[in-house]
Amino acid sequence: MILTTGGTGYIGSHTVVELLNAGFEVLIVDDLSNSEKEVVQRIEKITNKKVAFEEIDLKNKEKTFAIFEKYPTINAIVHFAASKAVGESVEKPLMYYENNIGSLINLLQASAKYEINNFVFSSSCTVYGQPNVLPVTENTPRCEAESPYGNTKKIAEDILKDTAFADKTFKSIALRYFNPIGAHPTGLIGELPRGVPANLIPFVTQTAFGLRKELSIFGNDYNTPDGTCIRDYINVVDLAKAHVISIKRLLENKNKSNYEFFNIGTGKGSTVLEVVKAFEKSTGVKVNYKIVAKRPGDIEKIWADTTYANIELGWKAETGLEETLASAWKWEKNYRA
């Protein structure tokens, strides 16, 4: 059984679907602080399989340990549960360190006690900051974090590395996601931000739907072809599949070292304006936008070199940008219907 923390969240829910499709039993643990319980039924509808669910806050050590007593067949963990808003992390750093680091430590202590040695962690390309050379490979040095959120990802990677060094039986893989977007092709699960979306795609789909007047594009005088920032937008289902491959790699002892990390992106960068145009082309819906001031903390451009993940994991992004954006639109419409 695969313990999936944060399994009702955006990337977690898509990963649970792929784990179930691959034949794994899954237990979701989530505190529902940024997701809905109903996602469990939606996952079951998509897969026609049952999934176990526990509403638990992983900051609670006792309750975290109790999960492993209750589910003795857990043999691997995919750990998503974390806070992820960059701006909020700047305002509430302690909350971010407590949520993202405190819960990781509890989980790792429980894993050690119950001898669960296979651990997949959701990291982020944020650990690279603004790299001097693009695309970024796994050898690109990590830089000083630009936000407490980014720092929690960096520290978490270090904790996993140190744990794997100290305990030779413990194996972990950190997946450094670029920008995950899109939704399940059924339109039953997708990204569900609370309040005004901070991320680009939910803002685009909500604007297209008429919930927002216009998209604000943050800056158009960056050193890029059209002046807007470049990111590597990765389809969330493709991303979810990278977790299934990583879990199998650990369970089958195919990992090359006890702590591994991979870039998970498409290998292709797109500007904000290119994303807006691709959305309009694939959906036929116009997105009103205006150019506004740069957003503090935004990096100019980043995209992944995914060669290592392609070769080592045998994983590759398969879905194109337009198809991915169409899936995000389908989800938005379905959800609001």
Greatest Cα-to-Cα distance within the chain, rounded to the nearest angstrom: 56
CB of 296 to ligand UD1, least distance (A): 10
For residues 6-25, which are near ligand UD1 according to CB under 6 A?
A: none
Binding mask 119-148 for ligand UD1 (x = CB under 6 A): -----x-x--------------------x-
Size, binding site for ligand UD1 by CB under 6 A: 21
Q: Which is nearer to ligand UD1, 33 or 41 (CB)?
A: 33
164 scored as a contact of ligand UD1 (CB under 6 A): no
Residue 86, interface with ligand UD1 (CB under 6 A)? yes
| Residues 194-213, interacting with ligand UD1 (CB under 6 A) | 198-200, 203
Tokens standing for residue 197: 């979306």
User: Interaction with ligand UD1 in 225-284: which residues (CB under 6 A)?
Assistant: 229, 231, 272
Give me the catalytic one of 96, 128, 149, 222.
149
Residues 31-60 that bind ligand UD1 (CB under 6 A): none
Instruction: Please return the burial class of 318, using the count of CB atoms within 10 Å of its CB with bins 0-12, 13-18 and 19+.
Output: exposed
179: contact with ligand UD1 by CB under 6 A: yes
295 binds ligand UD1 (CB under 6 A): yes
Tell me, yes or no, if 149 is annotated catalytic. Answer: yes
Which tokens in the block code for residue 108?
């790792």
Q: Which residue is nearest to ligand UD1 (CB)?
A: 229
Shortest spacing between CB 222 and ligand UD1, in angstroms: 9
Phi, psi of 115, deg, nearest 5: 55, 45
- Is residue 106 a contact point for ligand UD1 (CB under 6 A)? no
Residues that bind ligand UD1 (CB under 6 A): 84, 86, 124, 126, 147, 150, 179, 198-200, 203, 215-218, 229, 231, 272, 295, 298-299
- Give catalytic residue positions: 149
